[in-house]
Amino acid sequence: MAKKKQGRQRQQQAATPATLAAGRAGVAFTTHSYEHDPSAASYGAEAAEALGIEPERVFKTLVTEVDGALTVAIVPVSASLDLKALASAAGGKRAVMADPAAVERTTGYVLGGVSPLGQRKPLPTVLDASAAAYETVCVSAGRRGLEIELAPGDLAALTGAVSAAVARG
């Protein structure tokens, strides 16, 4: 089981491209770190449990291909991605999960630590509509064992995300 480390405020943040992007934008955020367990089956569920945050408020960053173009989907760790809904929200016809090597090369992050913020190459992004129900949500801060908590509106603004119901379950 992962162990929670004390949350850090913006001034004491761990510097990753994600936290640097949020800092440059001047948005309020908090980072939360925990000891990552390499045997964890789900990185997002591990983060929610380790940090004591309800899984509906912890979001995972999934990189897909919509009609051949890389596209990011941000959905709660408690849900699955509805690829058909994502394709529609992104203005396409078909969506599939992206090749892991392409994800790492394009985003600059390792799988399990992909953040929607501070990606090497900004990608079209869809944020699940459920995020709007919360004052703040958590997403990966750019490495396993580090989450960034911020307002969903700030997350959408920083990523250029559109909001759509793309999660199921």
* CATH number of the domain within which 119 lies: 3.90.960.10
Containing structural domain, residue 70: 27-168
Domain tally for the chain?
1
> For residue 57, which of 147, 120, 125, 144 has the smallest C-alpha distance?
147
Query: Domain for residue 3, yes or no?
Result: no
Quick one: what percent of the chain has pLDDT higher than 70?
Answer: 92
pLDDT at 43: 86
Q: Confirm whether 60 is domain-assigned.
A: yes
Lowest mean pLDDT segment, chosen from 46-50, 79-83, 115-119: 46-50
Structural domain contains residue 104 = yes
The Cβ-side half-sphere exposure at 153, using a 13 Å CA radius, reads 4
pLDDT at residue 133 greater than cutoff 60: yes
Asked if the structure places residue 12 within a domain, the reply is no
- For the chain, the straight-line distance linking the first and the last C-alpha, in angstroms and rounded, comes to 25
Give the model's pLDDT for residue 13: 46
* Residue 78 located in a structural domain: yes
Q: Is 36 inside any structural domain?
A: yes
CA separation for the pair 83, 65 (Å, rounded): 10
- The model's pLDDT over 65-78, given as tens digits with 9 standing for 90+, comes to 999 999 999 999 99
pTM above 0.95, yes or no: no
CA atoms within 13 A on the CB side of 28: 6
